[in-house]
A and B are shown apart, each in its own frame.
Chain A
Amino acid sequence: DGGITQSPKYLFRKEGQNVTLSCEQNLNHDAMYWYRQDPGQGLRLIYYSQIVNDFQKGDIAEGYSVSREKKESFPLTVTSAQKNPTAFYLCASSIGGTVSYEQYFGPGTRLTVT
């Protein structure tokens, strides 16, 4: 079953704790992305990676970190420095390269920090 998966679906954390969200794809895509979605709003880009061992900051990277050690995996860490971490987090992947293609989204992780 090909696709992009995220785990867990729901995540609860106490303020001050770092938390890592998982994103895995078996589509053989080079590019992977992390977005944040707040209620009633659009998607904002946190980080993206076009190739293994390389990633770039998006529009709202502060308080987040990523790694891309394997083509299939692009975990996102929400650090205690992120002021308002409660949100719906979406991971996506695409073929990559110099031509834009469809981004396929994972099911999302809803993070609640209290």
Chain B
Amino acid sequence: GENVEQHPSTLSVQEGDSAVIKCTYSDSASNYFPWYKQELGKRPQLIIDIRSNVGEKKDQRIAVTLNKTAKHFSLHITETQPEDSAVYFCAASTFDNAGNMLTFGGGTRLMVKP
């Protein structure tokens, strides 16, 4: 099955700096890569996603890049703000006879210091 590894597990940055979180996946058939943000005690919420036919996608201060050859994808947050502090999860989706499944990385706790 798919295996997703995420690094770093914790990341501390100064407000205004950039933050980068990296994920690798094992299944070359994976074709959809979402990123979720989870605040303490809350549900995960999608912040950005990318499909395998696209190399990069940007939404305001957030961008995701995908390298299919190397099987890794990254989340980039620019001009970080204290409200960006949360746990971020990457995921990779595969489709088999039973349907679509997401495999999640272990998460990155981002702390933005004011």
Interface residues of A (CB under 8 A from B): 31, 33, 40-45, 48, 50, 56, 58-59, 90, 94, 96-103, 105-108
Contacts and interface: CB of A to CB of B under 8 A. Distances in A.
Given A102-B34, A102-B49, A50 B99 contact: yes
Interface of B: 1, 6, 31-32, 34, 42-46, 49, 89, 93, 95, 98-107
A48 B103 CA distance: 12
Contacts of A103: 34, 46, 102
A43 B89 contact: yes
Contacts of B6: 42
A41 to B, nearest CB: 6
Contacts of A99: 32, 100
7 contacts: A40-B107, A45-B101, A45-B103, A98-B95, A99-B32, A101-B32, A105-B45
Contact of A56 (B95, B98, B103, B106): B98
B21 to A, nearest CB: 13
A10 to B, nearest CB: 11
B45 A56 contact: no
Contact of B106 (A42, A50, A90, A94): A42
A41 B100 contact: no
A58 B101 contact: yes
